[in-house]
């Protein structure tokens, strides 16, 4: 960029000017940092206020802009300056300082109040004096301004890494999700390669006699329209269909993947930009449900088997034992589901599927009856109308209950004994057939395996563990099933304990831990055919977005548009492999010597590699170990023991907005904390702790996302990586003769903002019990 010129702009509204001496704040920028352009502006976010900054950019050459006002999460459109030309640093004085503090406690006097006690006539100068200011609040604001200025000084505009990209999407799976994904990608102008392992397209949707309602009023089942979608895909000029396909390997990175695919006796390598994996589901193995009569009685079938029966017989339901029409059919919900011995989760669509199949029974024979025995009937959203329509059918009876026993008689009838929880008594039902509503298992798992915790010895021997030098297990991965990725971390997508691809489900449902590869439909979660089709569309949009952002050298979620990229000083690299192991997304590989090699477009800019590196040789132009270290050095540490300084490293995705919400609600928090925003706690480098504590900082509070099984970390395992690194801090603090508890990490979800004052007060009280940092003043 051109010669850097800083401008500091302090807002005086939203209570900031009432609580702080803004002139004193401005003098810190002028005198301590020799910044010429320093202005206090009322309502900086107004059109007039924003124009002040624009005028200084155009007339004064300001290109590094420090805005001391409100949270970076608001008014971002007002302060939106071209990041390739300008550095914009937001200092949160409103939510994190002023609104989180209160007026002086009863009996506590400010300097202004003390002077007011002396009787004297008010002079003009006194009338214009600043309002009463709480000293601790003022010092908090001053330190945050110092840190913001230092951060802006150290920042440089990022230089995006731009490379040629291939605008082709590989869609794996030709069912409802895959067909929708392929069709919508093609309509958007992208080329599509649709790979299906079977000889024809359609998946489960093609095998169904009827599908659930997919349009208002959501009351009636309908014939599947999958045939129309298949025709549309087959006739679209942008779509190449490969049936009988197998993915031999996928190597490279978003925009530049090379997919080798075998199909019908030939093998080809295709350059692709991104991948949608829509390989669907398989039914839970009913052979494990003998206690429910499956395999024991001929007339006990699964929901998949009765669907096939209806499709083959034009809706007629016949008993397997003798081929005669079934007059009384029972449906048992949650068969092997919500059961720790089988599938612990609910497959969500089984209740609606049983309602649909109960209608087959009554439609094929008006004199027939269907009985649905359920634990809980789950028909979300407008599917409640479908539930009510089934209730109103005189041939359908629903009862809530638990199965006590399932027996058969010599005529082949099935006898159910039910403990009816509504009537409070046992009920006996005799039926011709029993249908077990078995669950959905993702096709990400190998055949014969329904959940990761149920792996047989055959598969256990094939699983791999990746460890760091200090023995911490980072990944556990099965042998290839679908993708055969050429990644250091393994050939398949990391997945959760039930086999569904790992993602930050709440915020980014299509995401996987491999950038540019998106899961859609029932491979990622149980859902209906309609939901799968919509899911395929969503995944297609993400796949396209990824390629387009990559073409501009920008990151995808959660830092969409970020043009920075980690730079490595290879001269000082010791080949310790910590960065390559800890990267959550496989952005770093390594050569035969262990030196990291980069895959630019796999990177999501979390900075975990930066925190992992003990040599401090990984940095971004606008985010580095030295930058944050200098921010900490900018904090003024008073000699008074009554004014401790505590650094809080806060995750920008959960902790930062939680602090914002606490401020909005005017929750009072300790004024002795100094907040430093992190892209992810995974970027935390241990050198900061040693340096800051040596300079007199009392302690470190790391506030990050939740980790482990129910993690909420937007970068998957950054918060966990920070926690693991803290296991090494004991040695550092022992060397300094300080208590290890001076550094603590807490897990916090955004909606737990109301817990922040207690968390912070408790930690401050704990530090107080240790006594002052002995390094203070040195």
Over residues 230-258, the pLDDT tens digits come to: 999 999 999 999 999 999 999 999 999 99
Tell me the whole-structure pTM to 2 decimals: 0.90
To which residue do tokens 């190597």 refer?
A: 251
Predicted local confidence at residue 473, as pLDDT: 34
Average pLDDT over residues 569-588: 93
Q: pLDDT tens for residues 284-314?
A: 999 999 999 999 999 999 999 999 999 999 9
DSSP E strand stretches across 505-629:
517-519, 567-568, 588-590, 596-598, 618-619
C-alpha to C-alpha distance for 292 and 332, rounded to whole angstroms: 9
C-alpha to C-alpha distance for 64 and 86, rounded to whole angstroms: 6
Average pLDDT over residues 670-689: 96
User: Residue 453 — very low, low, confident or very high, per pLDDT cuts 50/70/90?
Assistant: low
Higher pLDDT, 123 or 53: 53
Predicted local confidence at residue 420, as pLDDT: 81
C-alpha to C-alpha distance for 326 and 317, rounded to whole angstroms: 6
In percent, the amount of the chain with pLDDT more than 90 equals 81
Average pLDDT over residues 655-682: 96
C-alpha to C-alpha distance for 126 and 481, rounded to whole angstroms: 78
Contact 433, 414 (CB under 8 A): yes
Q: Quick check: 180 pLDDT over 90? A: yes
C-alpha to C-alpha distance for 679 and 562, rounded to whole angstroms: 11
Helix (H, G, I), strand (E, B) or coil at 571: helix
Q: Quick check: 126 pLDDT over 70? A: no
Helix (H, G, I), strand (E, B) or coil at 565: coil
Q: With CA atoms as reference, report the closest residue to 293 among 333, 341, 335.
A: 335
Pairing of strands 567-568, 618-619: antiparallel
Average pLDDT over residues 530-555: 97
Q: With CA atoms as reference, report the closest residue to 529 among 182, 280, 156, 258.
A: 280
Contact 525, 500 (CB under 8 A): yes
Predicted local confidence at residue 568, as pLDDT: 95
C-alpha to C-alpha distance for 350 and 376, rounded to whole angstroms: 11
In the structure encoding, which two tokens stand for residue 181, read together?
């994904």
User: Residue 499 — very low, low, confident or very high, per pLDDT cuts 50/70/90?
Assistant: confident
Q: pLDDT tens for residues 9-29?
A: 999 999 999 999 999 999 999
Mean pLDDT of the chain: 90
User: Residue 711 — very low, low, confident or very high, per pLDDT cuts 50/70/90?
Assistant: confident
Predicted local confidence at residue 734, as pLDDT: 82
Predicted local confidence at residue 470, as pLDDT: 40
For the sheet containing 699-704, what is the strand order? 673-678, 646-651, 699-704, 743-747
In the structure encoding, which two tokens stand for residue 205, read together?
């949707």
What 3 state SS string does 524-570 have?
Answer: CCCCCHHHHHHHHHHHHHHHHHHHHHHHCCCCCCCCCCCCCCCEECH
Q: Quick check: 728 pLDDT over 60? A: yes
Contact 56, 41 (CB under 8 A): no
C-alpha to C-alpha distance for 269 and 542, rounded to whole angstroms: 23
In the structure encoding, which two tokens stand for residue 325, read together?
């029409």
Predicted local confidence at residue 104, as pLDDT: 41
Pairing of strands 517-519, 274-277: parallel
State in Å, rounded, how far the first CA of the chain is from the last one.
38
Q: Quick check: 726 pLDDT over 50? A: yes
C-alpha to C-alpha distance for 495 and 501, rounded to whole angstroms: 4
Predicted local confidence at residue 127, as pLDDT: 46
- CA–centroid distance for 640 within its chain: 43
Give Rg (Cα) of the chain: 32
User: Residue 185 — very low, low, confident or very high, per pLDDT cuts 50/70/90?
Assistant: very high
C-alpha to C-alpha distance for 530 and 4, rounded to whole angstroms: 55
**In the chain, how long is the greatest CA-to-CA distance?**
110
Predicted local confidence at residue 672, as pLDDT: 97
Q: Quick check: 612 pLDDT over 90? A: yes
DSSP E strand stretches across 157-273:
168-172, 191-196, 239-243, 245-251, 257-263, 266-272
Predicted local confidence at residue 362, as pLDDT: 96
Q: Quick check: 592 pLDDT over 50? A: yes
Average pLDDT over residues 416-445: 92
User: Residue 735 — very low, low, confident or very high, per pLDDT cuts 50/70/90?
Assistant: confident
What 3 state SS string does 371-396 have?
Answer: EEEECCCCCCCCHHHHHHHHHCCCCE
Give the best-scoring range by mean pLDDT among 79-83, 107-111, 469-473. Answer: 79-83
Q: Quick check: 452 pLDDT over 60? A: no
Higher pLDDT, 278 or 84: 278
Average pLDDT over residues 145-149: 98
DSSP class of residue 23? H
Predicted local confidence at residue 450, as pLDDT: 63
Q: Quick check: 379 pLDDT over 90? A: yes
Q: Quick check: 764 pLDDT over 90? A: yes
Predicted local confidence at residue 1, as pLDDT: 66
Quick check: bond before 472 cis, omega within 30? no
DSSP E strand stretches across 683-760:
699-704, 743-747
Contact 520, 535 (CB under 8 A): yes
Average pLDDT over residues 502-515: 83
Q: With CA atoms as reference, report the closest residue to 71 among 107, 41, 99, 111.
A: 99
C-alpha to C-alpha distance for 777 and 775, rounded to whole angstroms: 6
C-alpha to C-alpha distance for 200 and 629, rounded to whole angstroms: 59
In the structure encoding, which two tokens stand for residue 371, read together?
């009985």
Q: Quick check: 114 pLDDT over 50? A: no
DSSP string over 267-292 = EEEEEESEEEE---EEE--GGG-GGG
Q: Quick check: 687 pLDDT over 70? A: yes
């Amino acid at each position: 960029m051109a010669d850097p010129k800083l401008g500091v702009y302090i807002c005086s509204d939203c209570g900031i000017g009432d609580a702080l001496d803004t002139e004193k704040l401005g003098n810190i920028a002028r005198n301590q940092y020799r910044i010429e352009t320093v202005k206090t502006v009322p309502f900086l976010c107004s059109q007039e206020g924003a124009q002040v900054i624009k005028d200084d950019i155009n007339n004064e050459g300001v290109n590094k802009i420090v805005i001391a006002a409100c949270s970076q999460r608001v008014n971002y459109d007002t302060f939106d300056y071209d990041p390739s030309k300008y550095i914009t640093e937001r200092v949160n004085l409103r939510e994190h300082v002023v609104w989180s503090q209160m007026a002086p406690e009863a009996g506590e006097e400010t300097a202004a109040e003390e002077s007011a006690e002396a009787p004297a006539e008010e002079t003009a100068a006194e009338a214009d004096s600043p309002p009463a200011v709480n000293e601790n609040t003022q010092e908090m604001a001053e330190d945050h301004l110092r840190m913001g200025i230092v951060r802006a000084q150290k920042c440089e505009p990022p230089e995006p890494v731009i490379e040629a990209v291939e605008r082709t999407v590989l869609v794996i799976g030709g069912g409802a999700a895959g067909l929708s994904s392929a069709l919508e990608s093609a309509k958007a102008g992208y080329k599509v390669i649709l790979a299906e392992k079977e000889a024809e397209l359609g998946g489960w949707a093609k095998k169904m006699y009827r599908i659930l309602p997919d349009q208002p009023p959501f009351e009636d089942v309908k014939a599947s329209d999958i045939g129309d979608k298949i025709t549309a895909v087959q006739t679209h000029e942008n779509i190449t269909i490969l049936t009988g396909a197998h993915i031999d390997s996928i190597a490279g990175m978003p925009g530049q993947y090379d997919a080798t695919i075998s199909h019908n006796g030939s093998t080809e390598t295709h350059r692709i930009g991104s991948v949608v994996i829509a390989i669907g589901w398989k039914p839970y193995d009913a052979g494990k449900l003998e206690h429910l009569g499956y395999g024991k009685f001929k007339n006990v079938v699964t929901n998949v088997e009765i669907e096939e029966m209806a499709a083959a017989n034009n809706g007629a339901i016949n008993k397997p034992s003798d081929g005669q029409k079934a007059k009384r059919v029972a449906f048992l919900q949650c068969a092997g589901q919500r059961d720790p011995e089988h599938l612990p989760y609910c497959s969500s669509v089984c209740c609606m599927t049983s309602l649909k199949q109960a209608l087959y029974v009554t439609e094929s024979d008006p004199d027939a009856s269907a009985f649905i025995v359920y634990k809980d009937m789950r028909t979300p959203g407008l599917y409640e109308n479908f539930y009510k329509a089934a209730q109103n059918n005189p041939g359908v009876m629903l009862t809530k209950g638990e199965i006590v026993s399932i027996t058969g008689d010599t005529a082949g009838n099935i006898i159910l004994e039910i403990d009816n929880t509504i009537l409070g008594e046992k009920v006996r039902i005799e039926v011709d057939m029993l249908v077990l509503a078995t669950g959905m298992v993702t096709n990400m798992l190998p055949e014969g395996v329904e959940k990761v915790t149920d792996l047989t010895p055959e598969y256990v021997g094939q699983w791999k563990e990746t460890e760091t030098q200090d023995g911490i297990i980072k990944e556990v991965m099965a042998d290839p099933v679908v993708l055969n990725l050429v990644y250091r971390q393994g050939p398949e997508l990391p997945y959760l304990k039930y086999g569904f691809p790992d993602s930050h489900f709440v915020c980014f449902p299509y995401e996987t831990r491999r950038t540019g590869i998106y899961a859609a439909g029932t491979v990622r979660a149980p859902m209906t055919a309609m939901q799968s089709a919509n899911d395929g569309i969503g995944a297609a949009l993400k796949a396209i977005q990824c390629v387009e952002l990559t073409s501009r050298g920008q990151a995808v979620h959660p830092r969409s548009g970020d043009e920075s990229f980690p730079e490595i000083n290879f001269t000082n690299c010791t080949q310790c492999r910590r960065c390559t192991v800890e990267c959550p997304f496989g952005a770093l590989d390594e050569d035969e010597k262990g030196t990291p090699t980069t895959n630019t477009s796999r990177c999501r800019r979390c900075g975990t590699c930066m925190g992992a590196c003990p040599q401090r040789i990984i940095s971004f132009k606008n985010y580095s170990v030295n930058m944050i270290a200098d921010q900490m050095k900018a904090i003024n540490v008073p000699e008074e023991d009554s004014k401790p300084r505590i650094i809080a490293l806060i995750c920008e995705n959960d902790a930062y907005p939680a602090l914002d919400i606490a401020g909005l609600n005017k929750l009072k928090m300790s004024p002795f904390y100094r907040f430093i925003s992190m892209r992810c706690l995974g970027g935390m480098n241990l050198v900061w702790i040693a340096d800051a504590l040596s300079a007199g900082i009392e302690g470190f509070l790391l506030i990050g996302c939740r980790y482990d099984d129910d993690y909420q970390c937007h970068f998957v395992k950054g918060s966990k990586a920070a926690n693991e690194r803290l296991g090494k801090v004991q040695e550092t603090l022992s060397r300094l003769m300080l208590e290890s508890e001076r550094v603590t990490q807490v897990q916090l979800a955004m909606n737990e903002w109301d817990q922040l004052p207690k968390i912070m007060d408790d930690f401050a009280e704990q530090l107080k019990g240790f006594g002052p940092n002995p390094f203070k003043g040195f």
